[in-house]
Amino acid sequence: MKNTTQSMNCQRKNCNKCQHNICTYRVPIFSDLEPDEMMKIIELIVSRKYARGEMIVMEGNQLEGLYIIHSGRVKAFRYTQEAKEQILYLFAEGDFFGEKNLLRKQPVTYHAEALEETQICVIPHRSFHELLKEAPSISYKIMDQLCIRIDHLETLIQNMGTRDMEARISAILIEFAKKYGSKQNDGILVSMPLSREGIANYIGVTRETISRKLSRLQDDGIIEQVGNKKIKIYDLKALEQEYL
């Protein structure tokens, strides 16, 4: 009950207070839409809120629509045979999931968990299909996004296929530096989206190995671990050479 009212508040609030900050404006898929088309979508959106650590969808779920991240961060993962978490994607604002449900009536193929407080906008199936008919350009956008996702997965596989652990960790650090880093005069400060264990589950090793390798990079003066949630990269070139 409480959630429902909260959701409606959220929706209203967005519409009135900051039109240019609502889900649809942030989502690449809808970036080409005319304002009136955009408004139609906004009408259809249902919003939900998840706390850090809360599961958003589970593998096998039949979703009622497309889930779009309005704010927050989400990890998507599967379990390996040994019941270890294998992270597949890190989703952020503007990313979506549940597209397989939408396009081929398939349940989601991974678990999705909020890494921090996260707000999700849901566009119901039927609404979305009507939208597709009216604005076919959206289908191009979706294909685009699917290709980006494929790119990501291919690169992840390439990374997991390299034996040299230093290179694998360097690759992750570079990826995070690009996405979550801010330049400072003496280096790049990266606000890490994942814990050490999370990183481990992303590249398929144990957390201890991550610890050891990061300490080594720190000893070499290439990075500095600032608490548990930030890493400062002093020598990006050295990382890239490790990576090459």
Would you tell me which residues interact with its own copies (CB under 8 A)? 78-82, 84, 86, 88, 99-100, 103-104, 106, 109-110, 136, 139-140, 142-144, 146-151, 153-154, 156-164, 167, 204, 243-244
Q: How many CB atoms lie within 10 A of CB 48?
A: 17
Question: Tell me, what amino acid is at 84?
Answer: K
Q: Which is nearer to DNA, 3 or 215 (CB)?
A: 215
The angle formed by the CA atoms of residues 172, 156 and 151, to the nearest 5 degrees, is 115
| CB of 7 vs its own copies, minimal distance in Å | 28
| CB of 169 vs its own copies, minimal distance in Å | 12
CA-closest candidate to residue 14, choices 27, 24, 4, 5: 24
Q: Give me the residue label for tokens 């690169």.
A: 155
What DSSP element (H or E) covers 27? Answer: none
210 is in the binding site of which of its own copies, DNA, none (Cβ under 5 to 8 A by kind)?
A: DNA
88 is in the binding site of which of DNA, its own copies, none (Cβ under 5 to 8 A by kind)?
A: its own copies
| CB of 227 vs DNA, minimal distance in Å | 3
63 is in the binding site of which of its own copies, DNA, none (Cβ under 5 to 8 A by kind)?
A: none
Beta strands 46-50; 96-97: pairing state:
unpaired
15 is in the binding site of which of its own copies, DNA, none (Cβ under 5 to 8 A by kind)?
A: none
Q: Give me the residue label for tokens 């979703």.
A: 63
